[in-house]
Structure 1
Amino acid sequence: MTIEILQTHSLLASCEEALAARYTVHKLHEMTDKDAWLAENGPRIRAHAGSGVQADLMDKLPNLEIIASFGVGYDNIDTAAAKARNIRVTNTPDVLNDAVAELTIGLMISMARRIPQSDQFVRQGKWPGANFGLFSELTGKTVGILGLGRIGKEIASRAQAMKMRVVYYGRHYQPSVPYIYYDNLEEMARDSDWLVVIAPGGKGTEGIVSRKVLEALGPEGRIVNVARGTLIDEPAMVELLQNGGLGGAALDVFEHEPQVPAELLTLDNVVLSPHQGSATHQTRDAMGALLVANLEKHFAGEPLISAVV
């Protein structure tokens, strides 16, 4: 008898194919009466593939052994509840570092050089009658990185390649990196032209980019968020973008995504992206392969590749 696993949302096609080749997969998100199905079949489920698992679902899966999450962030999994139930949790770190770092620099260049606006300028036939204007560049600017973890370090190295000065804020000073450390986020924002947010989500970081931090970044400062929308005081950010208190924002994530504040859609000093940090063929395939590999390791009784719990 094959091992039975549960999905609660769609995954990449290659990942779903790999899961189906190894296990009996049940797709809860495609079922009409989910509660009835769980009541009858929940005890047979030994693994969950995907993310977004809370304690109430764990209660309906009494024999759940492992949650293999698709993504590096796991703030949408109740890890405390999983630990209390002896449920292992894995994620997919490292394989997406380059893709997220690339998008971050892309968002910065798009904002500094106003690439979305210049594209529209040409498409609308305005070029023959006017010059587009002069704007900013990254060279010589200071970028403050909130969260110098694996992805943060990749962003930092790319920023250095753009001849930017790199500083960082985090819970701890890292003696192995050559960048200036700040133990006060507001002070770092005041010293930065760009603030890149790439810290983990969760209760410990909610609203860490407060109004005071945004005001310290100032009218010439720009913020880039490729982490979680909850890290920024979004209403304060919108207000400051509207009144000139903040120079600009390049956002791949939002507090209540996929809903985006209507005010942002009308502003010319923002660049918006639909949570695409890891969205490349190469990276998503690697994430799916790591998810499957963690499940294989677990059911073979071997050490997990990327354990969270």
Structure 2
Amino acid sequence: MSATYVLALIPLPDATLDALRRAYALHYLPDGWPETWPAGVDLTRVRAVVTNGSTGLSEARMAALPALEIVSAFGAGYENVDVAAAARRGIVVTHAPGANAATVADHAIGLLLALARGYAPLTEAVRGGNWRTSRGERATLTGARLGIVGMGRIGRLIAARARGFDMTLGYHTRGPHADAPGRYYSRLTELAAASDFLVIACNGGPATKHLVDREVLYALGPHGYVVNVSRGSVLDTRALLDALAERAIAGAGLDVIEHEPEVPFELLDHPDVLVTPHIAGRSPASLIAQRDALIASLTQHFTHTPVEFAVRTV
């Protein structure tokens, strides 16, 4: 029986690579679609692509893979996979919904605590010998107002954790959810104005590009903090830099950056900005869940059984 060729265009954990190599002929290009293809890669034989929401797969690249049958996003996001083009070509698109949601929610709460309590600048103050002069009051989460942008799996898990701090909850989505915790705000600026902390946990993609803009940040106010654990494109970087420079907000916690991995030096130099390298969803448990979802999707497709985690098109 001929080998089934899989093309992986993103960095993958060793355990996931091992699982793919046991079952398939794997072409592993962790730096993405190359300008020049390595010897031995026959694009006409590739039947599956492994990508993620950030890297995605365009229609033009699908067209370069005439045998392509399935595109699997490693993780929940698939915003840069051209799902409509895939549907037209009869290509299945899959993802791993909820696989890393709990880890992302934990990371968001960690950023909130670290920003409010000033863990990073206070550690630097102590290192600099400024113990006595750095013991001013800091904000805390208990009883504070939390606004959540997006109320999917991650947003709901953030809300559940926030309840442990007796936080007042508000949220913004395209429409209200009857079973969602907290008060619904149809206008994001109104949610920001009613929040001490604003957490971005919505989907990425064109529909949410720069959803959190200058108006939203300035509505958050000089004592407010913004945290982004969704996609860098949702938060307008220029507006954020201006708001920080003008002290229109108190600080920011960013796991994603609009043009990552390039990070503006102004963010790195700001004492009340925390930046982590897009790892909110990475934990041993989440990576195992993502691996299992990926392998299950490929197995189901190639054995002609219903694909549980297929993206449904309208």
Alpha-carbon distance between aligned partners in 2 of 1:124 and 1:35, rounded to the nearest angstrom = 51
- Pick from 84, 88, 94: which aligns with 1:84? 88
Q: Is the 8 A contact 1:90 1:294 kept in 2?
A: yes
Shift of 1:73: 1.1
Q: 1:140 — aligned with what?
A: 143
Task: Determine if the alignment matches structure 1 residue 182 to structure 2 residue 213.
Answer: no
Q: 1:70 — aligned with what?
A: 74
Alpha-carbon distance between aligned partners in 1 of 2:193 and 2:253, rounded to the nearest angstrom = 18
Alpha-carbon distance between aligned partners in 2 of 1:89 and 1:142, rounded to the nearest angstrom = 38
Q: 2:251 — aligned with what?
A: 248
- SS in structure 2 of the partner of residue 134 of structure 1: coil
- SS in structure 2 of the partner of residue 49 of structure 1: strand
Task: Determine if the alignment matches structure 1 residue 214 to structure 2 residue 214.
Answer: no
**Counting helix residues as a fraction of each chain, which structure ranks higher?**
1
- SS in structure 1 of the partner of residue 215 of structure 2: helix
Root-mean-square deviation (CA), in Å?
A: 1.9
Task: Determine if the alignment matches structure 1 residue 48 to structure 2 residue 41.
Answer: no
Shift of 1:131: 4.8
Kindly report which structure 2 residues correspond to 1:11-26, keeping only aligned pairs within 5 A, or say none.
Answer: 11-26=12-27
Question: Any stretches of 5+ residues in structure 2 without a counterpart?
Answer: none
Alpha-carbon distance between aligned partners in 2 of 1:248 and 1:194, rounded to the nearest angstrom = 10
Task: Determine if the alignment matches structure 1 residue 95 to structure 2 residue 96.
Answer: no
- Pick from 300, 306, 309: which aligns with 2:309? 306
Question: Any stretches of 5+ residues in structure 1 without a counterpart?
Answer: none
Judging changes above 3 Å, is the alpha-carbon distance between structure 1 residues 292 and 280 closer, same or farther for their aligned structure 2 residues?
same
Query: After the TM superposition, which of the residue ranges 267-276 and 14-23 deviates more from structure 2?
Result: 267-276
Q: 1:268 — aligned with what?
A: 271
- SS in structure 2 of the partner of residue 288 of structure 1: helix
Q: Is the 8 A contact 2:226 2:252 kept in 1?
A: yes
Q: Is the 8 A contact 1:200 1:227 kept in 2?
A: yes
Judging changes above 3 Å, is the alpha-carbon distance between structure 1 residues 306 and 116 closer, same or farther for their aligned structure 2 residues?
same
Q: Which runs of at least 4 in structure 1 moved beyond 6 Å after TM superposition?
A: 30-33
- Pick from 117, 125, 139: which aligns with 1:121? 125
Question: What count of residue pairs does the alignment treat as equivalent?
Answer: 307
Task: Determine if the alignment matches structure 1 residue 280 to structure 2 residue 283.
Answer: yes
- SS in structure 1 of the partner of residue 170 of structure 2: strand
Alpha-carbon distance between aligned partners in 2 of 1:137 and 1:28, rounded to the nearest angstrom = 44
Q: 2:240 — aligned with what?
A: 237
- Tell me the alpha carbon deviations over residues 184-220 of structure 1, each in whole angstroms, 9 at most, x when there is no partner: 1111111111111011011100011121111111111
- Tell me the alpha carbon deviations over residues 241-287 of structure 1, each in whole angstroms, 9 at most, x when there is no partner: 11111121111111000001111111112111111111212211221
Alpha-carbon distance between aligned partners in 2 of 1:169 and 1:237, rounded to the nearest angstrom = 19
Kindly report which structure 2 residues correspond to 1:22-41, keeping only aligned pairs within 5 A, or say none.
Answer: 22-28=23-29, 34-35=36-37, 41=42
Alpha-carbon distance between aligned partners in 1 of 2:220 and 2:34, rounded to the nearest angstrom = 49
Shift of 1:19: 0.5
Task: Determine if the alignment matches structure 1 residue 292 to structure 2 residue 285.
Answer: no
**Paired-residue identity, %:** 38
Q: 1:57 — aligned with what?
A: 61
Q: Is the 8 A contact 1:121 1:132 kept in 2?
A: no
Judging changes above 3 Å, is the alpha-carbon distance between structure 1 residues 244 and 94 closer, same or farther for their aligned structure 2 residues?
same
Task: Determine if the alignment matches structure 1 residue 108 to structure 2 residue 112.
Answer: yes
Instruction: Read off the aligned partner of 1:20 and give its amino acid letter.
Output: R
Query: After the TM superposition, which of the residue ranges 173-182 and 48-57 deviates more from structure 2?
Result: 48-57
Instruction: Read off the aligned partner of 2:23 and give its amino acid letter.
Output: R
Instruction: Read off the aligned partner of 1:61 and give its amino acid letter.
Output: L
Instruction: Read off the aligned partner of 1:262 and give its amino acid letter.
Output: F
